[in-house]
Chain A
């Protein structure tokens, strides 16, 4: 009787697990496998035999000073993107609940437009807006032919604007839906007590929306850590002398453009472990506060 109860759920879960296993575990297994070999184009096409390298690829990666530099700038850049995206997304979500139907519709449509724009198109348009020769932004601000992509920070800032622009709609729509689900009596009571908008957000909405905020934060962390297209397009593949490289572009340049698949896999595994660790730590912190996702 006891064994049957423990096995029955697994039986029902089996089809889903098989699909998940095939789609998720197998590629990750291959990724891990390749990262332990010397596996370049020469090995794939049979020009040279495949050799086992153990942790050789990882050692090569960790001894590359540029990797650590890129890792640091990726973490800082992703952090800035996540914070800005959440701030803009949440602020506009609150705004959505406060305006009339028509402006709300307009804002929604504008946000959905930004969301639906492919990353390559969005990046190209932003680049054009800030173009030193033809861009309207310089003309409006009276900056002459100032180049936004020349300085390291200004180039990162420009990319940050684009990343925020194309990822805030997800946060906004999700949080807006969350706020709509909050019972209006609670908000009304707070307003009657004379709470300011900021106070309502901090003391009422944030705690009530915690599960939603958790999801959008984790999503944003994962997205922004993996940003590729925006950097690749807007800084011309990593900026002047590689000053704007982030981990994904670095992996592409170092590993896939040179067909060093094993090194690329090692970078992939490292990224996977880091994102997994960030997510787990974040979930652990939440659970310690007595919240369940």
Chain B
């Protein structure tokens, strides 16, 4: 009886050999390049989406005016379910949009899935593209080719409580060592506050510590990547970050499970003296108890006055390979990410522009953005442009490493060694 299912499997294998492979969709690029018709666009649905929609609408109206006979159909898709929507779009080109917004860490994965159109030629010929911030350009680049245009960037910096610092006579930390000692001073004086709230699952909060110490996530070697998370410099950074998970700052029992959002929630609720948050966390903090009682400085690096390299998050806009309106779609992509659009998008939503000149102009207007722009100017880092990265990200390789160290299950050397092994196998299997 127990043999029956195995037998069925053997039958299935036989059927496979006979040639019925699982279904795949034909997602080869369309040869058509219609000069009129309807263009479908997918953009992310933000919390408080109206200002974004307004800017997009004006771009679309101008675009439709400039191209007779074209109609642009914009749809805002929920961020939570975007992964499924995009997969479905790749699987069924008929229901796919022509142009879409996507998270910049997804670039390499989407390229491997065969979903994004190579726009290297158009991007190179576009006059505005030369002012694009190099890290932002890197985030649309895979193997030297561009697969979209950067839409906005997001970086993290150090939020701190001005009232607490004043009470205790503290100054914003100038070095990473000072950051740790300041955090401990805060917790010692006010035991109900985390000094610096940190999270064991907060990868992008931990990475600046690795980068500031000279470590790298991975290095490119002839088309493939090799993990650098177990290098001596990276281990120093991991040690610096994980040593903050102690009872004199942020107890491991509570902080080891936290992710980025949890740390921001804790800071906004007035439970922490400092936190590592993004320019995009502004509204969440404003909505909390600490409104009017905080300020932001760049996260300090190892040397006094230096800035720890931050992760350059953000979104891009790309054209899908299956589009039948290639020329129009690429043109619309450029209009949606142009200097003018990004400038008004900053005014409407606070999204930091990807063009250095536009960004500087924007920061001059809004003082809150200054530390973030300084952080960007000091140089940012990006995740490896390999499809292996999405696997590393979704199988939680780095949070696992951090939590193993924090909970004392493994030493820094052992945990980072294991993580490096997992990363390398993901890079090599992704090709």
Q: Which residues of A contact B (CB under 8 A)?
A: 28-30, 32-34, 36-37, 39, 41-50, 52, 132-133, 145-147, 149-150, 236-238, 240-243, 253-254, 257-260, 269, 272-273, 276-277, 280
Contact = CB atoms under 8 A, between A and B. Distances in A.
Given A32-B12, A44-B90, A280 B112 contact: no
A241 B395 contact: no
A209 B134 CA distance: 73
A39 B15 CA distance: 17
A48 B112 contact: yes
Interface stretch (B248-256, B330-338, B374-382): B248-256
B201 interface: yes
A33 B28 CA distance: 25
A250 B341 CA distance: 43
Nearest to A49: B24
A223 to B, nearest CB: 20
Interface in B114-133: 114-115
B93 to A, nearest CB: 9
B254 A45 contact: no
B5 A276 contact: yes
A240 B256 contact: yes
B256 A37 contact: no
Interface in B95-125: 109, 112-115
A226 to B, nearest CB: 17
Interface residues of B, number: 50
B181 interface: no
Given A150-B252, A236-B201, A240-B407, A45 B394 contact: no
A145 B8 CA distance: 54
- Among all A-B residue pairs, the 4 with the closest Cβ atoms: A47-B114, A45-B90, A46-B27, A257-B394
A238 B403 CA distance: 12
A45 B114 contact: yes
B87 interface: yes
28 contacts: A28-B8, A29-B8, A29-B12, A33-B20, A36-B12, A37-B16, A41-B109, A42-B114, A42-B387, A44-B24, A45-B25, A46-B26, A46-B28, A46-B90, A48-B114, A49-B24, A50-B22, A132-B253, A132-B254, A150-B253, A236-B201, A236-B257, A236-B259, A241-B400, A258-B394, A258-B395, A260-B391, A273-B5
A45 B114 CA distance: 7
A254 B285 CA distance: 34
Interface string B31-44: 00000000000000
Contacts of A42: 112-114, 387
A222 to B, nearest CB: 15
B13 interface: yes
B200 A240 contact: yes
Contacts of A34: 22
